[in-house]
Structure 1
Amino acid sequence: MKNVFVETSNVKRFQSALAALEQRGAQEACLAVVDGLPGLGKTTTLKHWVAHNGAIYLRAKKEWTAAWFMNELLEELRVNPPYSFQKKFGKVVEELAMRNSTAAMARRNFALVIDEADHISKKETILETVRDISDIIELPIILVGMGKVNDHLTRFPQVSSRVSQKVRFEKATLADVKTLIDQRCEVKVADDLAGFVFKVSQGYNREVLEAIANIERFGLRMEPGDQGVSMADMAGMAIIKDRHNGQSIMVPEVL
């Protein structure tokens, strides 16, 4: 499978939200929430953006405390954590402020991305620490979750009022699926098979990529026609596994 990053409609909405975040009116309103069901490409998109902008990525843990959060953040910043929480916080602010300033001078976007933010979206102590960091250095912080973050944040108006951008990742469209196949699959795929992948994947990127891998394995062993690997070619073969029951979904015979 080709190792390329594909700009789907979800990615483009995310990029638009980041552009709007940079042009925000109230400087303290620099939180963004990205949510959506698992398997829609959120983590892939955020990790790609982080890698290309030198931003900071953390994955929240269920049992995170504010101190644990500070320790992991300092480790990601390659700084030995001081002993006291006060010094940890001060060092985090210092390091992030420096990197934020450096990125601004280089005209790069910089942010702290916290994935799996559902784990912290009910924890007031951690959220207030996030707000403090964001307020002090006007640092964009992106909270990534699975659909509940915005709802949970309404319990903390001091935090929710600082969310200026909300992006919900939706299921892939047919155009998205065809773009993923065209740009990532090593073999050409016929329109009928691409349409079948869209149908059985239910718009989940994870399943689309699984289908591409199966199509590739088959297509590299044969000589597809001018239209590419078709449903007729793969009739009776497994294309993906059903995410609900784990059963293989087979390509049907084409009448």
Structure 2
Amino acid sequence: MTKIAQTKNYSKLNDAYSKLSDKREQDDSFCLVYGAPGLGKTLCSCNVLIRANGIFLRAMPGWTQKAVVRKLLNELGQDFRGTNAEGLEEVIRLVGENQRPIFVDEADFLFNDSRCLETLRAVHDSAGVPVILVGMTTLPGAQGIDRRIKRYPQISSRITQWCEFLPADWQDIRAIAQTCCDVEVEDDLLEKLLLQSRGNFRLIRRAMVKIGRKAKLLRTQSISSAQYGDDELFFQAS
């Protein structure tokens, strides 16, 4: 399992999933995980999924109800046979028996066919398992999953956990350095990285690899901004 730093986003998702799993707290168990690209949504969700023995789907462009049913059955170790209705009944039976939560990454693609969402709603309602949808937030010029899902009250009314992933702050980047880097990264280098990455977790983790390599080259267990020098922390498109 990939090392996961105890960032605010990760803690928020853990707390949300704990509440979803507590049947005493609520019956509706949908969670929406949303945020800009590079904020660790997939990485954190997969870590929670592994611990929860969940079912993982990565939605694709052009998915239909048949694709959702087929992928669910495949993850449950079954082949897709018969009609969509028959396949869905088998999914509900198996998920209900195993009580495995369902995680859907790239869930934005489900909105191309509303029957995909209805299929997940049917499994949730009948099998009584949490469903976690992971997608992009609304950005300038693009409507994200957090806004699009409100057009479907039959789904949005079931969401009890709205888990927004935000850019890393100072506390987050220190936690990442302590977890993901084998050497001590001094504060001035962390400040530089936080500024240049704008809190993008993907870029920060990528930079930690380069920082570790540079420290190894310098044969030091602690590296500062001056020691790192003018080397790029990560590739930046011009």
CA contact (8 A) 1:122 1:152 kept: no
Aligned twin of 2:226: 232
More helix by share: 2
Residue deviations 1:125-158, cap 9 Å, x none? 1111111111112211011001122311221111
Corresponding position: 1:14 with 2:13: yes
Corresponding position of 1:36: 35
Correspondence for 1:49: 48
Separation (CA, whole Å) in 2 of partners of 1:175 and 1:26: 32
1:179 is aligned to 2:175: yes
Structure 1 residues 23 and 51: CA distance shift in structure 2, 3 A: closer
- Report if aligned partners of 2:63, 2:113 keep a CA contact under 8 Å in 1: no
Amino acid at match of 2:173: V
5 Å matches for 1:47-196?
47-100=46-99, 110-147=100-137, 148-196=144-192
Q: Is the 8 A contact 1:188 1:224 kept in 2?
A: no
Q: 1:23 to 1:53 in 2, by over 3 A?
A: closer
Deviations 1:64-95 (A, max 9, x none): 00001111111111111112112111110111
The answer to whether the 8 Å contact 1:31/1:141 transfers is: yes
Amino acid at match of 1:120: L
**Letter in structure 2 aligned against 1:162:** R
- The aligned length equals 231
| 2:166 partner letter | E
SS of match in other structure, 2:185: coil
Query: CA–CA distance in 2 between the matches of 1:230 and 1:63?
Result: 48
Q: Which runs of 5+ in 1 are unaligned?
A: 101-109, 248-255
Code of the aligned partner of 1:192: D
What's 1:209 paired with?
205
Change beyond 3 A, Cα 1:26–1:236? closer
Answer with 215-224 or 172-181: which moved more. Answer: 215-224
The structure-2 alpha-carbon separation of the partners of 1:113 and 1:3, relative to structure 1 and needing over 3 Å to count, comes to closer
TM-score by length of 1: 0.86
Cα distance in structure 1, aligned partners of 2:51 and 2:21? 17
Distance in 1, matches of 2:106 and 2:190, equals 31
Counterpart secondary structure, 1:32: strand
Partner of 2:140: none
Deviation at 1:26, TM superposition (A): 4.6
- Letter of the 2:226 counterpart: A
Matched position secondary structure for 1:183: helix
CA distance in 1, matches of 2:220, 2:26: 56
User: Structure 1 residue 20: deviation in Å?
Assistant: 2.2
CA–CA distance in 2 between the matches of 1:26 and 1:190?
45
How far does residue 121 in structure 1 lie from its aligned partner after superposition? 3.0
In the superposition, relative to structure 1, how do residues 126 and 206 fare at CA in structure 2: closer, same or farther (>3 Å)?
A: same
Would the aligned equivalents of 1:207 and 1:240 in 2 still touch at CA under 8 Å? yes
